Amino acid sequence: MKRCILLFSGGLDSVIAAHLLIKQNIEVIGLHFVLPFNANIGKTFKPLIDSAKLLDIQLVIHEEKEDFLEIVKKPKFGFGKNINPCIDCRIFRLKQAHKYMLEQNASFIATGEVVGQRPMSQHKRGLGIILQESGLSELLLRPLSAKLLEPTIAEKNNWVNREDFLAIEGRTRKIQLEYAKKHNLQYESPAGGCILTAKEIVPKYQDLVKHIPEYTLPDFKCLAYGRHFRLSPAFRLIIGRDQAENNYLEKLEIKSDYRIEMANITGPIGIGKGTPTAQDIQLACDLIARYSSDRKKLKTNVKVIKDGLEKIWDSTPVSPQIAEKLRMQ
């Protein structure tokens, strides 16, 4: 039995790709990449794990770290509509998959990619660039569009039957949905796609690059969470929008940060980054109060923690207009 490494998201396309390979007696190892935003902060992957169990495939979860930042800072093939370096990201992940393929003594790599489904990375030219730059040559099989592409090693060597694969093209998911229904396949519902394609992350990223050109992994991770405010050229404030984001921000907090929270009631957590003036700290406290249940009070107390030392500040919640003016849109 031949072994294959499949880039596995748990979504519709990768589940179908796994099913097509399993039907041809291929041992599938699902390799799932986690963006740095979600790495090491306690997020669970239950739907993904359940999806792999239903298919009876081995699952490996790889959390990306500092090396991923290089393709965001200097993407060879540029960004998509926002800050999504899709082609560079795909090449990067396939190179990682190739290393894992060799470690696991697998014979080829597969993905759930569909010709023409994504505007930047899945048109035929993009697929060709990814194939060439990743160095995989004929090792990469795309079962959902295999009949539209050149035969791979797996097909040429008769490890799989090309005729049992599909010829899907375009953005519609009609064929995939019919296939999943016919074979009673369970898959994870889309959750908005990669966060790097979201337009709301762009001003946060532009501000980060402007003020900290050599930003680090903790700086980058924080882009995914909370409301972001630029209080001065030297100070940025991130405020959690709910308890889950409070928890994540706590885990992303580093020694040089200022932690700002309500003194006497439960409320949002703020993480301040930079070297603030006293005026910056006062404004940060007033913003925290604005997003707490004390927002309508004339005065409240806010706690600032730095280097293990706590100080209580008298605070007046800012108006919604001031908050929106300072917030990165």
Q: Where are the domains of the chain?
A: 3-182, 200-326
CA 174 to each of CA 76, 151, 180, 276, 303: distance values in angstroms, whole numbers, following the listed order: 34, 25, 10, 54, 54
Beta strand spans in the chain (E): 3-7, 27-34, 58-63, 108-110, 140-141, 227-232, 235-239, 258-262, 269-274, 300-306, 309-315
Is the model's pLDDT at 2 over the cut of 70? Answer: yes
Structure tokens at 283: 């404004």
Residue 112 sits at the vertex; the CA angle it makes with 110 and 117, to the nearest 5 degrees, is 135
154: left (phi over 0), alpha (psi -120 to 50) or beta: alpha
Residue 19 half-sphere exposure toward CB, CA atoms < 13 A: 21
pLDDT band for 84, please (50, 70, 90 cuts): confident
Integer Rg of the chain from CA? 24
For residue 205, the surrounding DSSP H or E stretch is helix 201-211
Contact 304, 313 (CB under 8 A): yes
Which of residues 258 and 127 earns the better pLDDT score? Answer: 258
Q: How many Å apart are CA 194 and CA 36, to the nearest integer?
A: 12
Tens digit of pLDDT for each residue in 234-285?
999 999 999 999 999 998 999 999 999 999 999 999 999 999 999 999 999 9
Mean pLDDT, residues 185-214: 85
The pLDDT value recorded for residue 125 is 73
The pLDDT value recorded for residue 38 is 75
How far is CA 95 from its chain centroid? 18
**Residue 125, burial from CB neighbour count under 10 angstroms (0-12, 13-18, 19+):** exposed
Range with lowest mean pLDDT among 27-41, 48-62, 281-295 = 27-41
The pLDDT value recorded for residue 191 is 52
pTM for this prediction: 0.86
Mean pLDDT, residues 105-131: 81
Fold of 3-182: Rossmann fold (3.40.50)
Q: For residue 183, give every residue at least 6 positions away whose Cβ sits within 8 Å of its Cβ, in sequence order, or none.
A: 19
Share of the chain above pLDDT 70, in %: 95
Mean pLDDT, residues 38-53: 82
Q: Where are the alpha helices (DSSP H) in 61-168?
A: 66-73, 86-103, 124-134, 153-156
Give the strand pairing for 269-274 and 258-262.
antiparallel
Q: For residue 120, give every residue at least 6 positions away whose Cβ sits within 8 Å of its Cβ, in sequence order, or none.
A: 80, 84, 86, 87, 126
The pLDDT value recorded for residue 124 is 67
Q: How many Å apart are CA 301 and CA 287, to the nearest integer?
A: 12
Is the model's pLDDT at 181 over the cut of 80? Answer: yes
Tens digit of pLDDT for each residue in 297-317?
999 999 999 999 999 999 999
User: In 3D, which of 123, 129, 121 has the Cα closest to residue 85?
Assistant: 121
The pLDDT value recorded for residue 39 is 67
Q: How many Å apart are CA 78 and CA 39, to the nearest integer?
A: 24
Q: How many Å apart are CA 134 and CA 253, to the nearest integer?
A: 35
